[in-house]
């Protein structure tokens, strides 16, 4: 083993150096999070004071314009003291506090708000009106460390409604150890929005796969934090026969391989059997000793809940079955405000 002049093993020192570097980086993240939390708590308190004084003295909008100028004069220029940002502080407190909720629930919301970047808070405030949906997006932003663009994508895809209407279907309870169950369950959605593929006509499974691979960055955003792309049509062999897995990922947080099978027709029980077979081969041939059991995600355009439930009972490997959406829908705020397809055709004539 190589040693330096002072007798310290080069290999051991490199491990030691890596540990120190990781420690420093971890504490830098903690420092940023701490500053963020303190700033958001300050913003909440400022919004609370603005609201209180307006109610007490009947002050109108002009007080915020004046406050913005005076804060910039006394403290310094910055986006924090813009009149627009001060209005967001007031709106945040006003909307979360006027819901007649228990004090404990309001304290929970304040804790969530303090743990999310300020820009994310503003985005949720502007785009989401239902309080339960707001809490859902706050919690998921913290849990999944969403960037602002990913959060916007989740809101546009109406992830909250899909979470309520279409609960995830999987067999993780019977196929995974308890200590892996919760985190794995949270990693699988019930519906994946693939609107970004711009597909509006019937296509084959290979065409769908190719479209996803071409826009792999957006695909990663939809699947969630931690997914790393390995390949498509990934070959795996048994004896003299080759099999090809549509999409293969490694989930670095869960430390497991994820196999995704794509179907362009309604769910059939045989799909589960095929994916279960692939997962057995993956665990035997690809899984590393320190990896957790591989999981499968079956994406279908339509599924019968009861049929999926029965099909999953016979699978020995952990599999989740989810729907995907590939056709764009008109946002609710624009419905009725734009011409219909028929009216557009008349205009073109």
All structural domains of the chain: 10-115 (no CATH), 166-325 (3.40.1350.10)
Closest C-alpha to 274, from 230, 305, 244, 313: 244
More confidently predicted of 163 and 326: 163
Structure tokens at 329: 């829908």
Q: How far is CA 17 from CA 22, 176, 273, 334, in A?
A: 9, 36, 47, 56
DSSP string, 54-112: HHHH---THHHHHHHHHHHHHT---GGGSHHHHHHHHHHHHHHHTT---HHHHHHHHHH
Q: Are 6 and 13 in contact, with CB atoms under 8 Å apart?
A: no
Provide mean pLDDT across the span 246-264: 84
pLDDT recorded at residue 164? 67
Contacts of 46 by beta carbon, 8 Å cutoff, 6+ apart: 86, 89
Each residue's pLDDT tens digit, 171-184: 555 666 665 545 45
Is the pLDDT confidence value at 292 over 50? yes
Distance between CA atoms of residues 238 and 254, nearest Å = 27
Given a contact cutoff of 8 angstroms between Cβ atoms, the answer to whether 248 and 258 are in contact is yes
- Among 93-102, 195-204, 241-250, top mean pLDDT goes to 241-250
Pairwise CA distance, residues 200 & 348, whole Å: 21
What's the CA gap between 313 and 124, in Å, rounded?
39
What pLDDT does 275 receive? 92
Degrees to nearest 5, angle at CA 276 with 210 and 246:
10
What was the pLDDT predicted at 42?
A: 92
Answer yes or no: are the C-beta atoms of 168 and 322 closer than 8 Å: yes
In this prediction, residues 56-62 reach a mean pLDDT of: 91
Across 31-35, 121-125, 130-134, 167-171, least confident range: 167-171
Greater model confidence, 235 or 324: 235
Report d(CA 210, CA 197) in Å as an integer. 10
**Does the pLDDT value for residue 37 go beyond 60?**
yes
Provide the token pair at 154. Answer: 């989740």
Name the least confident of 71-75, 217-221, 269-273.
217-221
Which of 237, 231, 268, 262 has the alpha carbon at shortest distance from 249? 231
Least confident of 84-93, 233-242, 329-338: 329-338
pLDDT band at 335 (very low <50, low <70, confident <90, very high): very low
Phi, psi of 288 (to 5 degrees): -85, 160
Residue 282 has pLDDT above 80, yes or no: yes
* Crossing angle (nearest 10°) for helices 118-127 and 148-156: 20
208-247: per-residue pLDDT in tens? 656 655 555 555 555 656 778 888 888 999 988 999 998 8
Q: Measure Cα distances from 52 to 55, 91, 145, 316 in Å.
A: 5, 12, 33, 59
Is the pLDDT at 168 greater than 60, yes or no? no
For the chain, the average pLDDT equals 77
Among 78-87, 98-107, 222-231, which stretch is predicted with the lowest mean pLDDT? 222-231
* 3-class SS of residue 247: strand
Which string of DSSP letters, residue by residue, matches 305-322? HHHHHHHHHT-SS-EEEE
pLDDT reading at 78 higher than 80: no
Q: Assign 347 a pLDDT band (cuts: 50, 70, 90).
A: very low
pLDDT reading at 80 higher than 60: yes
Q: What is the mean pLDDT of residues 145-167?
A: 76
Q: Residue with structure tokens 């062999």? A: 237
What pLDDT does residue 55 have?
Answer: 92
The predicted structure's pLDDT at residue 334: 38
Cβ(295)–Cβ(320) under 8 Å?
yes
328 pLDDT higher than 60: no
Tell whether the model's pLDDT for residue 85 goes beyond 50.
yes
Q: Which residue has the higher pLDDT, 313 or 219?
A: 313
Helices 10-57 and 83-97 sit at what angle, rounded to 10 degrees?
Answer: 80
């Amino acid at each position: 083993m190589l040693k330096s002049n002072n007798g310290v093993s080069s290999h051991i020192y490199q491990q030691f150096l890596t540990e120190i570097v990781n420690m420093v980086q971890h504490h830098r993240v903690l420092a940023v999070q701490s500053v963020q939390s303190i700033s958001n708590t300050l913003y909440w308190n400022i919004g609370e004071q603005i609201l209180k004084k307006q109610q007490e003295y009947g002050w109108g909008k002009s007080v915020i314009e004046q406050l913005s100028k005076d804060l910039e004069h006394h403290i310094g220029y910055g986006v924090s003291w813009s009149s627009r940002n001060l209005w967001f502080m007031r709106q945040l407190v006003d909307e979360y506090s006027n819901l007649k909720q228990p004090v404990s629930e309001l304290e929970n919301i304040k804790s969530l708000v303090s743990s999310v970047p300020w820009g994310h808070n503003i985005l949720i405030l502007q785009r989401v009106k239902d309080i339960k949906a707001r809490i859902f997006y706050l919690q998921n932003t913290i849990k999944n460390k969403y960037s602002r663009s990913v959060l916007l994508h989740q809101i546009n895809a109406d992830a909250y409604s899909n979470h309520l209407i279409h609960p995830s279907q999987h067999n993780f309870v019977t196929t995974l150890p308890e200590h892996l169950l919760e985190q794995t369950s949270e990693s699988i959605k019930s519906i994946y929005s693939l609107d970004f593929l711009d597909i509006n006509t019937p296509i084959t499974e290979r065409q769908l796969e190719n479209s996803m691979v071409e826009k792999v960055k957006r695909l990663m955003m939809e699947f969630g934090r931690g997914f790393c792309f390995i390949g498509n049509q990934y070959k795996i062999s048994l004896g003299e026969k080759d099999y090809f897995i549509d999409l293969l990922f490694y989930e670095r947080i869960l430390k497991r391989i994820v196999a995704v099978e794509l179907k362009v027709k309604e769910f059939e029980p045989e799909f589960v059997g095929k994916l279960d077979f692939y997962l057995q081969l993956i665990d035997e041939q690809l899984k590393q000793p320190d990896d957790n059991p591989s999981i499968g995600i079956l994406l279908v355009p339509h599924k019968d809940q009861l049929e999926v439930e029965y099909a999953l009972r016979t699978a020995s490997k952990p599999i989740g079955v989810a729907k995907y959406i590939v056709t764009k829908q008109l946002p609710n705020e624009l419905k009725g405000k734009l011409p219909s397809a028929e009216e557009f055709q008349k205009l073109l004539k």
